[in-house]
A and B are shown apart, each in its own frame.
Chain A
Amino acid sequence: MYRFDYTDLVGGMLLFFVGAGVSLVSIGNYPLGTLPRMGPGMFPAILGVVLAALGVSLALQALRRTGSRPDIRFFSPLFVLGGVTAFALTIVPFGLIPAIVAIVVISSLAELRIRPVSLVLLCLALCLMAPLVFVVGLGLPIPLIRWPF
């Protein structure tokens, strides 16, 4: 238990900064226009102010109550998002099969234990299934394997 609800305090402050940023960018870069003839900057500028105000009130409420520790994990997001990133990096230069292997192997590490047999089987199964569904079944033009060098 903490004295304040730090989760909401930080969350509220983040909302405030995002809202303020949106408003400043809109006012600075896009014409505001007038109310009868609104320009592209008016609506986002209003929304930014509303978001910032909501952020401030959330942060103020957080000061009035105690809070518990937020549930933050490090390895799960790292490996899951890392797998998606690896897919994005490999799909165009290397083709579908290497991209599938990359995402499956990297995201499986999020379990924090490696099951070699089941991992290899899963890779094989998905490398067979995905081309069947997307390339053969739906006729999408994705190269299976490519060598860029």
Chain B
Amino acid sequence: MEFLGNIGLGFSVALSLTNIFYCFLGALLGTLVGVIPGLGVLAAISMLFPLTFHLEPTTALIMLAGIWYGTTYGGSTASILLNLPGTPANAVTCLDGYPMAKQGRGGVALFMTTVASFFGASFGIILLTLFTPVIAEYALRFGSAEYFALMLMGLVAASTISEGSAIKGLAMVVLGIIIGLVGMDTQSATIRFSFGVLGLLEGVSLIALAMGIFGVAEIIMSVRRVKTADIDPETLKLSAIKPTRDDVRRSWFPMLRGASMGSFFGTLPGTGPSIAAFLSYAVEKRISKTPERFGKGAIEGIMAPEAANNAADQTAFIPTLSLGVPGSATMALMLGVLMIHGVAPGPNLISSQPELFWGLIMSFWVGNVILLLLNIPLIGVWVRMLTIPYHILFPSVLMFICIGAYTSGFSTLNIWMVTAFGTLGYLMRIFRFPGAPLLLGFVLGPLMEEHFRRAMVLSRGDFMTFFDRPISATIMALTGLVLIWSIWSSETVRKRRAPPEGEVALARDATDA
């Protein structure tokens, strides 16, 4: 009965007029950001975050979460019509979606991916509702040693599993933690690394960091490279979106398998929507009786990944909300937003802020229904967004970034920080250092230091405390395995360089989600 009461509480929060409005706004903006290539979800969330300053934390989070899952819905549009993934999580959808569009079945593909997205998201939300409270209750007995071990595992997994060099990922995590330490040390009131700048006492602004590294740097890389789209208006006629009976029959099991795999990989640190989508495509191709149809417009090839990435979008909230340990950069940003609004994340969140927790989760239903309604009739409108020329888009985005940075605190220091992190982000692109681990380290850094120090105090300086306690020892062992595996696999990758064409582009930027 308590469970039903919680669900009821959640719906009463999520269905208030204000929250429905901001949920709608978030989903709408998310779809927009997802459709337009060259504008990432991290940049979008940090850019729009200043708009939520004056809102209740619950409402703010509902809107920002709407942006997050909205992008995945919208991202498939660019994948299908342009062969250009709107977000990394939609990259696999290009493989069969674009051939479908070329065969004049683009409308069908857009319609069916929306259905798959909704199916995957629903699957994810149900798991999220069932498991988050259970995990949080279990986590209540965790001490500082366990938390430090969990965060360490999250950071190591997030920086090594997904793509590129493990060393670069780890280095960026460490750099992120160091940037996170700037400012006043909470335990000794010592001011660290502020170089005499008074405004840095409170630390580096999360928003300026995310906007610089993911917004400004992305723009620098995209100027004069992003070409405006050329779309065949014939594919967009509404009559062309009706799937055949064969399409529907072929879609059921791929959707179910995709949603299950997506839910699983969404909860793990380091994997996320991109990897879930990629693996579920591989599975469908392997178990299919007609694998030769894949890559030529097989409907299974778009249904499974789109169900997987949307399920993963939702289940990514499980570790973030139950443990306070985010598994990806976007979740780290959500956690940072919570903390800026003065809400302490962790296993106590559900019991101390039931309105926030249940309201947020139930708002996912509202948001996904809104997205379903937005996407199907408005496909034509979204596609028109693709034709906005980049030379109009990027100065507008820069302007929003600057105003957002300035209004979060009304100090020009935040704009200077955007310039500094834009420069850093551009340098990182040149040296091919990934940005997502840096953001993750930045958010988790201060928490890690706190737990590390506390664990050391409790054990009187004995490092073995991390290995004596059974839960923390297990997590540390897993972390070790991930490290060994990543070093081993990077060695084997180097031995057989030159992966098959097409997969290079997919693997690139896979962590950006």
The interface of chain A, by Cβ under 8 A from chain B, is: 7-8, 10-11, 14-15, 18-19, 22, 25-26, 30-31, 34-40, 43-44, 47-48, 50-51, 54-55, 57-58, 61, 65, 70-73, 76-77, 80-81, 83-85, 87-88, 91-92, 96, 99-100, 103-104, 107-108, 110-112, 115, 118, 122, 126, 130, 134, 138, 140-142
Q: A40-B185, A65-B494, A88-B415 are in contact. Are A7 and B224 (CB under 8 A)?
A: no
Shortest CB distance B210–A (Å): 15
Question: When the two chains form their complex, are residues B403 and A84 in contact, meaning their CB atoms are under 8 A apart?
Answer: no
Question: Among the listed B181, B399, B431, which residue makes an inter-chain contact with A44, where contact means beta carbons less than 8 Å apart?
Answer: B181
B142 at the interface (CB under 8 A from A): no
With known contacts A35-B461, A70-B431, A110–B223 Cβ distance under 8 A: yes
Please determine whether A40 and B223 come into contact, CB atoms closer than 8 angstroms. no
C-beta contact mask, B388-406 vs A, less than 8 Å → 1, else 0? 0001101110110111001
B431 touches A11 (CB 8 A): yes
Question: Does A40 contact B192, Cβ atoms closer than 8 Å?
Answer: yes
Q: Is B54 an interface residue (CB 8 A)?
A: yes
* A25 & B193 in contact (Cβ 8 Å cutoff): yes
Contact between A80 and B219 (Cβ–Cβ < 8 Å)?
A: yes
Would A58 and B167 be within 8 Å (CB), given that A7-B432, A84-B398, A85-B419 are in contact?
A: yes
> Are B418 and A84 in touch, CB under 8 angstroms?
yes
Residue with the highest number of chain B CB atoms closer than 10 Å, among A22, A80, A92: A80
Asked whether, in the complex, the Cβ of B456 is within 8 Å of the Cβ of A36, the reply is yes
A70 to B220, CA, bound (A): 15
The contact of A81 among B188, B392, B396, B422, by CB within 8 Å, is B422
Contact B171 A54 (CB under 8 A): yes
CB<8 Å pairs between A and B, sample of 13: A22-B178, A40-B185, A51-B175, A54-B170, A77-B423, A81-B422, A84-B401, A91-B415, A104-B398, A122-B392, A134-B407, A138-B51, A138-B54
A71 to B419, CA, bound (A): 20
Q: Are A88 and B181 in contact (CB under 8 A)?
A: no
Who on chain A is nearest to B497 by CB?
A65
B187 at the interface (CB under 8 A from A): yes
A135 to B399, CA, bound (A): 15
Please determine whether B395 and A122 come into contact, CB atoms closer than 8 angstroms. Answer: yes
A78 nearest CB across to chain B (Å): 9
| A55→B171 CA distance, assembly (Å) | 7
CB-CB under 8 A from B419, the residues of chain A are: 81, 84-85, 88
Q: In the complex, which residues of chain B have a beta carbon less than 8 angstroms from the beta carbon of A15? A: 171, 175
A81 touches B54 (CB 8 A): no
The answer on a CB contact under 8 Å between B177 and A108 is: no
Contact B190 A88 (CB under 8 A): no
Task: Give the docked Cα–Cα distance between A10 and B396 (Å).
Answer: 34
Q: Number of B residues whose C-beta is below 8 Å from A?
A: 60
* B227–chain A nearest beta-carbon distance, Å: 13
Q: Which residues of B contact A (CB under 8 A)?
A: 51, 54, 165, 167-168, 170-171, 174-175, 177-178, 181, 185, 187-188, 190, 192-193, 216, 219-221, 223-224, 391-392, 394-396, 398-399, 401-403, 406-407, 410, 412, 415-416, 418-419, 422-423, 426, 429-433, 449, 452-453, 456-457, 459-461, 463, 494
CB distance from B175 to the nearest CB of A (A): 6
Query: What CA separation (Å) do A7 and B431 show in the bound complex?
Result: 6
Chain B residue contacts of A81, Cβ below 8 A:
216, 220, 419, 422-423
CB-defined contacts of A118 to chain B, threshold 8 Å: 391-392
Contacting residues, chain A, for B410 (C-beta < 8 A): 141
Question: Nearest B residue to A26 by beta-carbon distance?
Answer: B192
Q: Is the CB of B220 within 8 A of A51?
A: no
Determine whether the beta carbon of A31 is less than 8 Å from that of B190: yes
Residues A38 and B456 in contact, CB atoms below 8 Å apart: yes
* Other contacts beyond A8-B432, A54-B167: 18, CB < 8 A: A7-B430, A18-B175, A19-B174, A38-B453, A38-B456, A43-B453, A51-B174, A51-B175, A51-B178, A71-B429, A84-B398, A84-B401, A103-B395, A104-B396, A107-B398, A110-B220, A122-B392, A142-B406
- Which of A7, A50, A126 is close to B174, meaning CB atoms less than 8 Å apart? A50
Identity of the chain B residue whose Cβ is nearest the Cβ of A83 in the assembled complex: B398
Bound Cα distance from A1 to B303, whole angstroms: 41
Selected contact of B177 from candidates A37, A47, A141, CB within 8 Å: A47
- Whether B223 pairs with A76 at a CB distance below 8 angstroms is yes
Q: Take A70-B430, A80-B216, A110-B224 as given contacts and tell me if A104 and B457 are in contact as well, using a CB distance cutoff of 8 Å.
A: no
Also in contact, A107 and B395, with CB within 8 A (given A81-B216, A87-B402): yes
* Closest chain B residue, CB of each to CB of A19: B174
Q: How far is the CA of A61 from the CA of B165 in the complex (A)?
A: 11
**Cα-based distance from A15 to B169 in the complex (angstroms):** 12
Provide the bound-state CA to CA distance between A100 and B401, in Å.
Answer: 11
Is the pair A10, B398 in contact by a Cβ cutoff of 8 Å? no
CB contacts (< 8 Å) of A35 on chain B: these are 456, 461, 463
In the complex, chain B residues whose CB is within 8 Å of the CB of A8: 165, 431-432
Min Cβ gap A67→B in Å is 10
Most buried by A among B187, B402, B432, B453: B402
Q: Which residues of B contact A77 (CB under 8 A)?
A: 220, 422-423, 426
